[in-house]
Amino acid sequence: MHVCIFVFHKPYDIQSGDISVDRTAFPQANPNSSWTDPSVVSRTTVGNDSEIIMEVPAGMKDSQYFDVTLKIKQKANTLVDCTTERNIKVLTTDKITGIACPTLPPSFVCPALTVSTSP
């Protein structure tokens, strides 16, 4: 499964209705883009950060893309130091299977590998 991970600081929030996906360049009716829309699969809190994990659809081909718009809001009744810069991190991960490993008999196939970008 290929995912995009959006990480942002806890005093801010992104509601489900504040996430939109635009596939204008590759609408569902286009026979060259039979992949489904990306979808949010989980929301978690890790330390002082919140994470939204969005599954990237299978079946995308070279040069196909989608745009994601996030509306980031400061939580109500939450004080935020405006002099401190805050960043949103976007990471991607993918699980790769079927890589040949000649040192692992008898199947010669490595276990699934997870690859990730770094912020």
> Cα separation of 82 and 77, whole Å?
15
pLDDT digits (tens, 9 = 90+) for 37-74: 888 898 888 888 888 889 888 777 777 778 888 888 88
SS3 label, residue 119: coil
SS3 label, residue 55: strand
pTM: 0.70
Q: Yes or no: say if 49 and 10 are a contact pair by the CB < 8 Å rule.
A: yes
Residue 103 DSSP one-character state: T
Task: Kindly report the number of other CB atoms within 10 A of residue 53's CB atom.
Answer: 18
pLDDT digits (tens, 9 = 90+) for 73-109: 888 888 887 887 778 888 888 888 888 777 767 767 7
